[in-house]
Structure 1
Amino acid sequence: MEGSSSSSNYVNPRNKSYDKHSTRHSNYNNYNSQHNLDYNDDYLLFIWLASLKRFEEYLYLFIIVWNNLRLDNDRISRSLEFNDEVGQMKNHIEDLFTNSVINKQELEKYSTLLDDYRDHSYNDLEAKKEFVHNALNKLEKCGISKYKHQLNGLKALQKRHVRQMILDRMESFVDISSQSHIVDEEENDLSVDNPIELRKEIESLRKQNSKLVQENSHYQATLGKMTNTRLSDQDPNNATQLISDIKELQHLLEEFTIVQGPDYKINEKKSMELFSKNKCQANFSMPNAKLILGGILQKCVILQILESFESYFKNFKTNKYRNNTDDVLEFEILNTTERLTQCFNNFNEKRPGKDDITQTIPTKIRQQICASLGSRGFSNENHPLIVETAKKIRDSMNIYREITDPDILDEIDTQSIQITHKVISIFIFRLKTQQIEPKYHFFKSGDEIDTRLMQGSWREEVKKSEVVEVCYFPCILIQEDNKSNQKILVKAQVYTRPKNTATSATGGSSSVFDMFKNIIK
């Protein structure tokens, strides 16, 4: 089913020859093998797919075909493919509007439909089911009830072929409407009833109108960009790319905090003190003690970098570091952003009005500035914040482990710089580029397991009998105004231990989601 629709061999079900031979085909299949019966089912599905006449029918079919394909954190490539195909469908819808096939209201309707379906596919599976149910209802008159089980049973590769056919057909609708648009214009131009002078005047007015339409489109596009706080699919800070970069940071942290192997000597006394400080019950008679130690060190690295940044920023505000202006550029920008955002929030409150731009300016300011800082902030490796913080985390690691291999020591120096950059870039800047700013949270030792918010290596049948031993990477979550609508960007990474009733009762939590009520405001 792949390939351009212009060279398609699709059979038109309205063709009379097909109707003539339908009885003969039915008789033949009565004697055919099960393999051929299955093949005939595929053929009939193929015929039905090709028989759809309207572009909106393919739009609803697109939603149905994507329905049973999972889009979770472990399927980054599929998520990228999903976002790319939604973007292609939206582009085709916009082209149909350009060719006057649909009006502005229909453009907004179908574009919003695709945007909402994409959002619900990640954030609200119940709402996504409702979308699919409505799509099935829309296609009921086309006879989808005969084929919906067959569509659901298609393998992932087969569904990809069907989606490619849908995209090809949408492209065909655009091509045909474009040619029709050109023909209509030419027929109007060649009207023999118009006098020469009138034709010239009409041509002049047409050019003026075209110019005004272009200018208006430019202004509308500019206004749309100014009021739209949703990140595009191509934005380097969209959720898919951000999650991918967070996973890269997790991998770097794992390598940086390794304590297992002949090249590492553990200071067990200091490590036991660290276990106690984090309320972990591990000790070095247990086979997983080094694993737990590595997890605690990952958490310590993240927190130490964030604390170092906050301390540096606090000292900047008290004029301690303002002598060297080059070193405090990022803090100057952040400080100005905070003041400007607060001013606009007050302006929105004190100066009533109905324009959308003023309402969105605080969010746009935060997004744009944090995107820039996330890309280029502290990009010179000799910045004192980066150098000093990297040394601090190396020194902290050396308290609990000693590295005997000089080659590994050289790698550790480089990794400490990279990790410092990435933690500041992601946690301080890039999380703030989202439409709604995400929050992060480290769970405590003894907290109960919640698979909605945590990821670990527990078995399903024993997870209720285990609690958190250490949370080595935080849960990152977006909480919208509607408290029931939560989007998990990244689940917390945890190691577990068997539940101790006494410890769990004092240190754990009956509902992990309740914690976020005090964290997310």
Structure 2
Amino acid sequence: MNSSHYTFAETLSDKMDDSDSDNNKMMYDPETDKNVYNECFPQTTKKFYDMKRPENSSLTEIMEQTSITLKTMSKEINEINDQNRNLQDENNKLKEDCDNLYREKLSIERNFSRAKDYYESKIKDLELNDQIKKLLDENNKLKEDNENLLRENQILKQNSAEAKLKLQQINEANPQKIHEQTEIIMSLQNQLSDKENNIRDLVQRNVKLKDEASKYQSALGESMNVHLSNDDQNHSVQLKKDILELQRNLETYVTSLKPKIDINLKEVGILIKQYSCEKEIIPENLDRPFIKGVLQRKVLHQIFEFLGNYKKYREEEFSLESDIDSKARELLSLIKKFSETRVGTDEVSKVAAIKIRQQIYEILGNRGFSDIISSQGTHIHNFIYYSSQTLNEIMNQYRRINDVERKNEVEQLAPTLIRDVLKIFWFRLMVQEPVPDIKFFENNIKINPNLMTGRWEDDDLDEICVNLCYFPLIGRDLDSDSDYKVITHAKVLPHPIQNQI
């Protein structure tokens, strides 16, 4: 590009010199210069031809303008050449620096390799020296031990020779005495052998007696132990899980009351009054959580009512649970009376009633109200079948599920719900020792978060009280102020104290 610039300038200068020498005889050809310059400087050419040429300008004026433009272009070209030379110098310097760095890198790598080989050799020498030192130490110790053994062996040989000599002298001097001593030794050995045999017999008899005592103690301990093992389904931890699962099933059975569910506000209002709740339900502002709580209380109340009617049946195929419960209570009462009216010192009788109660109600908790086996086959328990039908009819008076599929799902939950309520409240609580208490809190009682659960803020506890308890508190020693134990909290719906009448 630079050579082209200089060619064009020289060409144009030559033409100007020729024109001056020939007294301007050469004719100026603008197209020729235009083509030459366009090839070298397209951008500058454009700038040059974009200049407004004065009308009727003479060739001299044109040449003056051209000369000015060429000087500008020459200056730009010189600047570009200077920049190019600077870049080339800088590039050469970078290449030189790169070569120096590369040579330095190779030198460092060679030094590192030599140092690595040197220190690896040193490390191997040190390790070898260490092993040699250990072997020498071990060898010296073995030599020392061998010398000690040789000395001890020499001493033993000497002692043995002296003993043989003394024995020989004794045998030669007193043969009769040695015979007598030998007979005495044999007699003592025989007596010792008899004693050892007697000791072995006594040890074996002692082991048998210990085993028998251990069995009796284990049996006594088992008969005295009324605590449930951790893996027992009636252990308080597992019982709590099953009660919480029952609460979830109860809530599912009542449903969320939305959508496609019609609420009979009239019947629900009557139910609210029966539970003495201070609440008025209006269509414009349905308090669905409150209605759900009321219906859950109704379901529990209705199942307990079913149970009261069921206990009246006796000696029927479907009334075995009631018969066993009745006989068990009678037997427990007799055992208690027997232990109190008969003289005795055994400890088992003191806990017999507890163990019998636990075993009987554990059986009922496992199989109670399960399907009945008869000569015709297996069928659902009569009480569960009719109770579930009745419960579904009663609940449909308060809420009607318009979705048929959803309605069937909810109603199919009724048998399981009734069976679980009866097993937990009637049977499985009776397996606990002591038997837990069940407590529904009355309305307008102050909220106690240690015994109750519900929706409230801790800051509001002084301003709210119980409006409805829809699941009871289950625990032990609930009347105590400090020694009580809660299995599951009561579920309550609160309301402000100032709303009390």
Give the percent of matched residue pairs that are identical in Structure 1 and Structure 2. 32
Aligned mates of 1:193, 1:462 — CA distance in 2: 93
Counterpart position of 2:364: 373
* Paired letter, 2:296: Q
Counterpart position of 1:28: none
Residue from 233, 236, 243 that aligns with 1:236: 233
Moved more, 211-220 or 248-257: 211-220
Partner SS, residue 475 of structure 2: strand
Partner SS, residue 494 of structure 1: strand
Aligned mates of 1:289, 1:483 — CA distance in 2: 34
Contact 2:362 2:428 in 1 (8 A): yes
Shift of residue 496, structure 1, vs aligned partner:
1.2
Query: TM-score, normalization: structure 1?
Result: 0.55
Residue 203 of structure 2 corresponds to residue 212 of structure 1: no
Shift of residue 349, structure 1, vs aligned partner:
2.1
Residue 252 of structure 2 corresponds to residue 255 of structure 1: yes
Shift of residue 234, structure 1, vs aligned partner:
2.4
Residue 363 of structure 2 corresponds to residue 363 of structure 1: no
Query: Residues 466 and 203 from structure 1, CA distance in 2 versus in 1: closer, same or farther, beyond 3 angstroms?
Result: same
How much is the aligned-residue C-alpha RMSD, in angstroms? 2.4
Contact 2:268 2:398 in 1 (8 A): yes
Contact 1:309 1:385 in 2 (8 A): no
Counterpart position of 2:464: 466
Partner SS, residue 477 of structure 1: strand
Aligned mates of 1:213, 1:194 — CA distance in 2: 28
Counterpart position of 2:411: 413
Counterpart position of 1:344: 335
* Paired letter, 1:336: K
Query: Residues 221 and 392 from structure 1, CA distance in 2 versus in 1: closer, same or farther, beyond 3 angstroms?
Result: same
* Paired letter, 1:355: D
Contact 2:257 2:399 in 1 (8 A): no
Query: Residues 474 and 288 from structure 1, CA distance in 2 versus in 1: closer, same or farther, beyond 3 angstroms?
Result: farther
Residue 491 of structure 2 corresponds to residue 493 of structure 1: yes
Contact 2:358 2:430 in 1 (8 A): yes
Partner SS, residue 399 of structure 1: coil
Query: Residues 275 and 194 from structure 1, CA distance in 2 versus in 1: closer, same or farther, beyond 3 angstroms?
Result: farther
Moved more, 343-352 or 331-340: 343-352
Partner SS, residue 409 of structure 1: helix
Partner SS, residue 279 of structure 1: coil
Q: What's the CA shift string for 1:291-324, capped at 9, x where partnerless? A: 11111111111121122112111243xxxxx3x3
Aligned pair count?
Answer: 305
Contact 2:364 2:423 in 1 (8 A): yes
Shift of residue 500, structure 1, vs aligned partner:
3.3
Aligned mates of 1:237, 1:350 — CA distance in 2: 32
Shift of residue 240, structure 1, vs aligned partner:
0.7
Partner SS, residue 369 of structure 2: coil
Shift of residue 401, structure 1, vs aligned partner:
0.7
Counterpart position of 2:158: none
Residue from 445, 448, 456 that aligns with 2:446: 448
* Paired letter, 2:332: T
Counterpart position of 2:420: 422
Shift of residue 257, structure 1, vs aligned partner:
0.6
Shift of residue 194, structure 1, vs aligned partner:
10
* Paired letter, 2:463: S
Aligned mates of 2:397, 2:362 — CA distance in 1: 36
Query: Residues 502 and 410 from structure 1, CA distance in 2 versus in 1: closer, same or farther, beyond 3 angstroms?
Result: closer
Query: Residues 197 and 428 from structure 1, CA distance in 2 versus in 1: closer, same or farther, beyond 3 angstroms?
Result: same
Contact 2:313 2:319 in 1 (8 A): no
Contact 1:259 1:401 in 2 (8 A): no
Q: What's the CA shift string for 1:189-243, capped at 9, x where partnerless? A: xxx9995555454444433322322222121111111122222222221111111
Aligned mates of 2:271, 2:191 — CA distance in 1: 91
Larger radius of gyration: 2
Counterpart position of 1:384: 382
Partner SS, residue 470 of structure 2: strand
Shift of residue 364, structure 1, vs aligned partner:
1.5
Pairs within 5 Å for 1:146-165: none
Aligned mates of 1:275, 1:481 — CA distance in 2: 28
Query: Residues 492 and 227 from structure 1, CA distance in 2 versus in 1: closer, same or farther, beyond 3 angstroms?
Result: same
Shift of residue 365, structure 1, vs aligned partner:
1.6
Shift of residue 486, structure 1, vs aligned partner:
1.5
Higher relative contact order (CA 8 A, sep 6+): 1
